[in-house]
Amino acid sequence: MATSSEEVLLVVKRVRQKKQDGALYLMAERVAWAPEGKDRFSVSHLYADIRCQKISPDGKSKIQLQLVLHTGETTNFHFTSESSAMKDRDAAKDLLQQLLPKFKRKANKELEEKNRMLQEDPLLFQLYKDLVVSQVISAEEFWANRVSMNSVDHSLTNSKQEVGISAAFLADVRPQTDGCNGLRYNLTSDIIESIFRTYPAVKQKYGENVPHNLTEKEFWTRFFQSHYFHRDRISTGSQDLFAECGKLDEQGLKSMVGQGVRNSMVDLTSLEDKSLDEGYGISSGPSTSSHNKTLKENSNAAIIKRFNHHSAMVLATGLRKQDAQNEQNGETSSTDGNSKDSDFFQPSVKKVKLQEAIEYADLEQENGRKPVALNLKKSDRYSHGPTPVQCQQYATSQDIINSVNCIRHEIADYTPRLTQVLSSSTASTAIAALSPGGVLMQGGTQQAINQMVPNDTQCELKHLYVAAGELLRHFWSCFPVNTPFLEEKVVKMRSNLERFQVTKLCPFQEKMQRQYLSTNLTGHLEEMLQTAYNKFHAWQTRRMLRKT
Amino acid sequence: MASDDELSLLVIVVDVNPIWWGQQAQREPEFTLSKCMDAVMVMSNAHLVMTRSNKLAIIASHCRESHFLYPNKHWKAGDFAGDESSCGSRDGKYELLTVGNDLISEEIKNLMERTEVRGQQTETLLAGSLAKALCYIHRVTKELDAGQEMKSRILVIKAADDSALQYMNFMNVIFAAQKQSILIDACVLDADSGLLQQACDITGGLYLKVPQKIALAQYLLWVFLPDSDQRSQLVLPPPVHVDYRAACFCHRNLIEIGYVCSVCLSIFCNFSPICTTCETAFKIALPHAMKAKKKKLKPTT
């Protein structure tokens, strides 16, 4: 049974686990379950091992609670009491909800962190497989450098950007017909959050009424039923919970319009929408006063007003966050975008903008800023450029005259004899020289090394290099050896290198020999390892000498 | 007619330096300019026959001028005007080839006849010929029908030595060709040419120094006839290692590490307080410890 020092916080009878009746016990540090009639716990989990709990949805016939452990295992508990199954389950859930956060182990977070890093970086994963899984180095050494690096990065990634609100969030709540004259709205927590952020008045109402007067479900039902939500918002009787919200919105909109846009470059009031006729432009006659508008125009105006108000509120949520940060500076914040504009159009900025609009740089007069002229004294050097002197063959003028006469005579009698251009023997020698292995084809094979070695061998070689590089980096970072810790590490790294050579490099070389690859792909790797061994040997002999 | 209507233009630049070829005729009578022109004609006929839409141009690079051997501005395709004896093909060859060959031989004869060498003009005007080739390619590109694409390359058959004075023009031509994606191939008969090696390396062409001149036709057909798409499928001579080291302006020695004036970009092997080309004064403030590394520092203005 439970140890005598354990305090039992909650006992729930009639809980089935794996089709066996029993009772669930929640203790101070663990949750356990014992079958009916037995007094030993068959299932016991420490709160520290539990990652999260899940409950079955409300409509289901089976009332269940599931515990998910860090290792991925799940345990299901089925509450079967006829009268109070739901209450039992909820009580257990609430208690667990309070207890679990206290026991979240920090060490597991590190494990998750490591897993995340391995999953994100395939190279790291490959290195891990090569070095740790094949036991060349131990896991602690592998993580020794890396975990410290990444804890810094993690804090940086925590400051993520806030997700904004989609302007269509209300429209996205598409109701589904319930079959019999009803509508079903699916509200997720995202939508609820969007509604609260955009309409603080609704949030206020929620805070006032839930859970004292109404349940959450009732609140939202009323919300969607109210005319506040619907298109043609004509304020009806004050029974509606949200009529006040409607009035607040009207006031808010009026104040926004009253503030206007404090941008001296823009004059919004001169925009009119009174057109003469279709396609005939705008008439500048006196605008019709509002009571001449038809009923249809009035309701259209209402919708447009509401639409504008909604958009303004959505935009304001983004700015409200910035303003909340700016409050430390003592700035007054307003909930619409006007404050930004007024800051933006300070006199200096306005002046710059006016100047930009007036001046055109290429219409100005040239500023007589003359560039420095290039003054070349020996420009004939450029005619031959950076070429070395080549011995020119000197021809005497007599030679030249002779040659010219000779060629003139020859060409004067020239007729093309295209059937006697080439004899077969000369052609064959030429072809032999041009065939692979011929005189002119030397140096070709060395360039095709990446075509001669198969792809998987290349990949393996790359992995070997990465792994060897990692080990060698650890090895060489130990020098100069000042502390006893470094001494131990050097010795360990040397044995690691040897192990690497035996377990990884030699099989690779044998495999290459079996494939008759004559190119020496591992020569450089061996050279690097040998240099490391030599250094270690030199260090060791020096240490021996110092000791004696 | 064909669905793959990508034209291919080959411009052959033949070095016909009369002094070198005259000396060559005396050195090695079995391979003279006539033989070389025969080989070039074989190559050009082969190119024209490979695909019906292939185009060709041949430029002769002389020491006084660069002259187009083919096509001739007074001749239009399909124009068989001439006396009876030259009309039509004498040996059953494709008429275009017959006319082309006749044209080429006539032009080279005229060119060599009016050769006069004066004074110091003994070097081949290769940079000029390449520039003409680029202009021709540009013109033909502009005259294409809408939707047609053309790939062009230049084949240089080089005989005489490099001309050091044409270095700047040569490099400009190379970079212009690289910008236009025009390959420059080089077939070198005599001495290796560093400029052409650089040209081939930069534009992606092939460089070949021919070991046997009399087999020139075979080398041309094997190595330089396929165009760049086909070359990726063939086993051809590997690219040559190019020496890109610069030579200093003061001694003309090849150096690996040097000093560059930031004003006129001339290269020197030793630090001097005044650049000899543009007379700009430089100062280096060196701490004592850095004196050993002085050679590796570049001057700052």
Is A375 within 8 Å of chain B by CB?
yes
Question: Which residue spans within A197-296 are E strands per DSSP?
Answer: none
B199 pLDDT higher than 90: yes
**Is the CB of A388 less than 8 angstroms away from the CB of B253?**
yes
* Closest residue in B to A394 (Cα–Cα): B122
Question: Tokens 């390449």 map to which residue?
Answer: B130
- For residues A268 and A260, what is the distance between their CA atoms, to the nearest angstrom? 9
Q: Check: CB of residue A434 under 8 Å from CB of residue B210.
A: no
B198 pLDDT higher than 80: yes
Buried b (16+ CB within 10 A) or exposed e, A194-217: bbbbbbbbbeebbeebeeeebeee
Of A404, A422, A436, the CB nearest to B18: A404
**Is the CB of A411 less than 8 angstroms away from the CB of B34?**
yes
pLDDT for position A333: 39
**Is the CB of B208 less than 8 angstroms away from the CB of A418?**
no
- DSSP-based three-state secondary structure for B164: helix
Of B34, B171, B195, the CB nearest to A410: B34
B300 pLDDT higher than 60: no
pLDDT tens digits along A176-186: 766 677 777 77
- For residues A134 and A496, what is the distance between their CA atoms, to the nearest angstrom? 11
Of A393, A417, A429, the CB nearest to B38: A417
- For residues B245 and B256, what is the distance between their CA atoms, to the nearest angstrom? 6
* Mean residue pLDDT across chain A: 76
**Is the CB of B208 less than 8 angstroms away from the CB of A440?**
yes
Higher pLDDT, A343 or B191: B191
Q: How large is the average pLDDT for residues A465-491?
A: 87
Rounded to two decimals, the pTM is 0.53
A59 pLDDT higher than 80: no
Is B50 within 8 Å of chain A by CB?
no
pLDDT for position A344: 53
pLDDT for position A375: 81
How crowded is residue A130: how many other Cβ atoms within 10 Å of its Cβ? 21
Is B120 within 8 Å of chain A by CB?
no
Antiparallel, parallel or unpaired: β A63-69 and A74-79 = antiparallel
pLDDT for position A435: 86
Which of A 377-406 lie inside 8 A of B, CB atoms?
Answer: 377-379, 381-390, 392-393, 395, 399-406
* Closest residue in B to A412 (Cα–Cα): B109
pLDDT for position A135: 66
Of A381, A407, A421, the CB nearest to B25: A407
B194 pLDDT higher than 60: yes
Is B211 within 8 Å of chain A by CB?
yes
pLDDT tens digits along A419-431: 888 899 999 999 9
Residues of B in Cβ contact (< 8 Å) with A434: 219, 222-223, 236-237
| Least confidently predicted of A60-69, A220-229, B158-167 | A220-229
Q: How large is the average pLDDT for residues A343-370?
A: 76
A361 pLDDT higher than 80: no
* Mean residue pLDDT across chain B: 86
B157 pLDDT higher than 90: yes
Share of chain B above pLDDT 70, in %: 88
pLDDT for position B12: 96
Is B281 within 8 Å of chain A by CB?
no
- For residues B226 and B156, what is the distance between their CA atoms, to the nearest angstrom? 15
Q: Check: CB of residue A12 under 8 Å from CB of residue A23.
A: yes
Give alpha helix (H) positions in A327-361.
Answer: 338-344, 347-358
pLDDT for position B87: 60
Residues of B in Cβ contact (< 8 Å) with A436: 235
Confidence class of residue A142 from pLDDT cuts 50, 70 and 90? confident
Query: What's the gap in Å between the CA of B213 and the closest CA on chain A?
Result: 10
Q: How large is the average pLDDT for residues B266-270?
A: 90
Q: How large is the average pLDDT for residues B88-97?
A: 80
Q: How large is the average pLDDT for residues A471-495?
A: 86
Q: How many A-B residue pairs are in contact by the CB < 8 A criterion?
A: 172
A518 pLDDT higher than 60: yes
* Closest residue in B to A384 (Cα–Cα): B165
**Is the CB of B211 less than 8 angstroms away from the CB of A385?**
no
Confidence class of residue A106 from pLDDT cuts 50, 70 and 90? low
Residues of B in Cβ contact (< 8 Å) with A396: none
pLDDT tens digits along B225-254: 998 889 988 888 888 888 888 889 888 889
Residues of B in Cβ contact (< 8 Å) with A392: 161
Contacts of B92 (CB under 8 A, 6+ apart): none
- DSSP-based three-state secondary structure for A323: helix
